[in-house]
Amino acid sequence: MKVKNIAAIFLILLSIWILLNNQFQIEVMIIGVILSFVISIIMGSRITVFNELKFSFKSVFYTIWYLFVFLAELVKSNLDVARRVLTPSLPINPGIIKTKTVLKSKMGRMILANSITLTPGTLTVDIEDDILYIHCIDVCCEDIDKATAAIVDKFEKILVKIYG
């Protein structure tokens, strides 16, 4: 369990090092490997979020698919907000509503909340166990089930397959 956590931190740190240096000389790589190894050993027992990651073919596939769904949603809703901003009468109908999530893991909830925040028109204000409080620029419905179906479900049904 702990080895996987350390390995995840090590890989993330090493890839950041490689991207930052942008060169593949052997000395640079050796320094990067040593540094990321030491840091991941030190921090391994404290950062426990990566324990929930699963390295399998299915999860990688769904992660990539999720990225595409997310980017499409991002562009679509950005255009929607751009339309609202450019309309002279400013057609907004804001409010804070409740939605529910079925995700249990911390990582899954974090990704879900961040995705909801990044799609314009919705903004996660607070999380309380499995209740998400979302500020909408255009409130569709105050009922918790309908709101969940409208906002959360499209991300959740993919995230459930990755994080269970």
> Which residues of this chain interact with another protein, rule CB under 8 A?
16, 18-22, 74-75, 78, 81-82, 84-86, 90, 92-98, 113-115, 117-128, 133, 135, 137, 139, 142
Q: Which is nearer to another protein, 58 or 114 (CB)?
A: 114
Q: Which is nearer to another protein, 44 or 121 (CB)?
A: 121
Q: List beta partners, residue 99.
A: 132
Q: Which is nearer to another protein, 47 or 58 (CB)?
A: 47
Q: Which is nearer to another protein, 108 or 120 (CB)?
A: 120
* In the complex, minimum distance from the CB of residue 133 to another protein, in angstroms, rounded to a whole number: 4
* In the complex, minimum distance from the CB of residue 23 to another protein, in angstroms, rounded to a whole number: 9
Q: Which is nearer to another protein, 3 or 24 (CB)?
A: 24
User: Residues near 11 by Cβ (< 8 Å), separated by ≥ 6?
Assistant: none
* In the complex, minimum distance from the CB of residue 135 to another protein, in angstroms, rounded to a whole number: 5
| Rounded distance between C-alpha atoms, residue 121 and residue 102, angstroms | 22
Alpha-carbon separation of residue 81 from 51, 76, 77 (angstroms) = 37, 9, 6
